[in-house]
Amino acid sequence: MKKAVIVVIVLTVLAVPAAMFGLALMSVLTISGANAAQNACVAPIGSFASMGGPVRWPVVGPFTVTSEYGMRYNPGNIDHGEYRLHAGIDLASGTGPVVAAAAGIVSGTPTSATGGNIVEINHGGGLVTRYLHLTSRTVAVGDRVWAGRQIGIEGQTGNVSGVHLHFEVVTNGQPINPRGWLTQQGLVVPPTGSAGTAPAGVLVDPGGLTNVDTDPISLEPAAVGDSRPLVSALPSQVGAWQGDQVANAAQVIKAGQDRALDAKTITIAVMTAMAESSLQNLDHGDAVRGDTIGLFQEGPERGPYDQRMDPYGAANIFYDYLLRVPGYLDLEPTIAAHKAQANADPYHYAPRWPDAVQMVSTLTADPELLQNLPTTGPVTGCANGGPEALAGTGDGSGQAIIDAATHYLGTPYSWGGGTTTGPSLGTYTSGSLDGTHTVGFDCSGLVLFAVHHATGIELPHSAELQGTDPRGAVVARDWAQLQPGDVISFSEDGSGAPGSFGHVGIYIGDGKMIHAPRPGKTVEIVQLRGSTYYEPMAWSIRRYAN
């Protein structure tokens, strides 16, 4: 299953004459966005502002537009004939070079049965381009590329009917029509079946386009009163449901609340989403019907793609159909759902009713919990909701603190995210520091969880306060005295002055620490001893282990 990666962006373009050798200019964006990951839990690079610079065709020399973005019958051998979204534009130029459409950093090189050999490029500011069906790649994850740099060879790997490049443009976690995007950049896109000519590749970095700072940045949320808190206490697990499954259920409930619907109606909706998709925002259907998508597995006849792939929007589509069922509140919940969904088995939904009751009662127990939940965009998190919640409690040792933290290795960073029970939706401070669409941890959220799980001590959600809390024993900055499980707060300007401690991590021994570094990254283990970044900072160390 593909998971949406959520990016909040503002995109402005500066159109220039198409006569400029098939190149256009992409304006510099001033906000950051989460990058596309090679899998749903691990992001190989951080978030950064747009690199700007020219935008060009992703091929070299003569080419033909062979297929457009949009719904079509699949011509490939896999699921041949299924009516589904073709999420890009196909360009055929033989077996020539494929080049980057704009400057960026290679964020993924996955291989799949349908896409074949793929290259994904993060251009910053929330923009990602994808290049599918390559015969081979000439770049690796982390490589910085410029417009026109070769990234692979055009081919026919994956689910194809001939040699071509499938080119995708992704914003806000969703594919958009590349024809429209290229046109906005000032390029003239030939009609389907017509030919065009792309400029030659660019062998040498023109300079100035790949100098992007992706080093760690200060990550501690602003002081109380300086930020706009949204949801930070959404439970990481309700019954067997966890992570983004809970967050998606919250969107379904929120949509019903915003329509002033009663609890039974809302619970029917949650039950239906549980049975249809296991509360996963699926981008595909099943063997019965391949063009249904989203939480409710809704087909194109029920609404536009973007709405069906948005949990809040998909819930509203379902509510529209449910409310049309005469006397649905007097029916068994599964029969009401069956009539709204037209499922072949009227009792398909019944097993999920108890879970739905538990989910709705849990998420509505505090009337303010969902009040400020964002109503646009799905929520991202780890694949299948991430790791299972950590059972039991620790024995109070430093190793127990480490075990609790490492249990969530690979969990996405979420600004303001993390509670005593595990990862959660975060908070909003600015466009680039927005955790309200991601289930995960920020730096102090990870420490809060790990220390509480191991010792029962509930620390403040603050990097500075975690490094100065009197419940922890003061530890000198001496490698010989540091012990695994010690909490280290970092004063990034090196002064050690109050208010300067903006990051925190957990020492795990051998000169290393585990932390949640920054937006776009995941919980990771890094080298601390000898680090040219962390060593110059002032440290405040506390030991909460027994």
pLDDT for 222 equals 31
Per-residue pLDDT for 23 more than 50? no
Per-residue pLDDT for 101 more than 80? yes
The average pLDDT across 93-114 equals 89
Q: Which of 506, 486, 495, 474 is nearest to 537 (CA)?
A: 495
Per-residue pLDDT for 87 more than 90? no
Per-residue confidence band for 227, with pLDDT thresholds at 50, 70 and 90: very low
Per-residue pLDDT for 313 more than 60? yes
Per-residue pLDDT for 226 more than 70? no
Burial class (CB in 10 A: 0-12, 13-18, 19+), 428: buried
Please report, rounded to a whole number, the percentage of residues in the chain having pLDDT higher than 90.
45
Per-residue confidence band for 372, with pLDDT thresholds at 50, 70 and 90: low
> For residues 312 and 48, which has the higher predicted lDDT (pLDDT)?
312
Helix (H) or strand (E) holding 107: strand 104-108
Catalytic residue among 133, 164, 166, 443: 443
**196-205, 238-247, 345-354, 483-492: the lowest-pLDDT one:** 238-247
| Beta strand pairing call for 150-153 and 195-198 | unpaired
Across 483-487, 491-495, 516-520, the highest mean pLDDT is recorded for 483-487
Q: In what order do the strands lie in the sheet with 136-137?
A: 97-99, 150-153, 136-137
Across 114-118, 222-226, 286-290, the highest mean pLDDT is recorded for 114-118
> For residues 225 and 474, which has the higher predicted lDDT (pLDDT)?
474
- Report d(CA 227, CA 461) in Å as an integer: 14
Instruction: Say if CB 317 and CB 325 are below 8 A apart.
Output: no
Q: Which of 204, 180, 199 is nearest to 22 (CA)?
A: 199
**389-403, 429-443, 452-466: the lowest-pLDDT one:** 429-443
The average pLDDT across 399-427 equals 86
Catalytic residue among 123, 133, 452, 503: 503
Model confidence over 438-461: pLDDT tens digits? 778 899 999 999 999 999 999 998
pLDDT for 432 equals 65
pLDDT for 180 equals 87
**452 in active site:** no
CATH code, 377-543: 3.90.1720.10
- Name residues whose C-beta falls within 8 Å of residue 121's C-beta, 6 or more positions apart in sequence: 100, 101, 102, 104, 105, 106, 107, 128, 129, 130, 131, 145, 151
The average pLDDT across 348-377 equals 78
377-543 shares the fold of 49-198: no
CATH class of 49-198: mainly beta
- Report d(CA 33, CA 337) in Å as an integer: 37
**146-160, 207-221, 292-306, 490-504: the lowest-pLDDT one:** 207-221
**Crossing angle of the two packed helices 263-277 and 244-258, in degrees rounded to 10:** 140
Per-residue pLDDT for 366 more than 50? yes
Per-residue pLDDT for 58 more than 90? yes
Q: What is the residue extent of each domain of the chain?
A: 49-198, 237-372, 377-543
- Report d(CA 230, CA 223) in Å as an integer: 15
pLDDT for 381 equals 52
Q: What share of the chain is helix, strand, coil (3-state, %, to 5)?
A: 20, 25, 55
> For residues 416 and 511, which has the higher predicted lDDT (pLDDT)?
511
> For residues 38 and 239, which has the higher predicted lDDT (pLDDT)?
239
Per-residue pLDDT for 172 more than 60? no
pLDDT for 363 equals 83
What own/partner pairs with CB < 8 Å and gap ≥ 24 does 117-121 have?
117/152, 117/155, 117/157, 117/158, 119/151, 119/152, 120/36, 120/38, 121/145, 121/151
What is the average pLDDT score of the chain?
80
pLDDT for 283 equals 81
| Beta strand pairing call for 174-176 and 424-425 | unpaired
**503 in active site:** yes
Per-residue pLDDT for 10 more than 70? no
Per-residue confidence band for 420, with pLDDT thresholds at 50, 70 and 90: confident
The average pLDDT across 172-196 equals 86
- Report d(CA 369, CA 363) in Å as an integer: 7
**133 in active site:** no
> For residues 493 and 79, which has the higher predicted lDDT (pLDDT)?
493
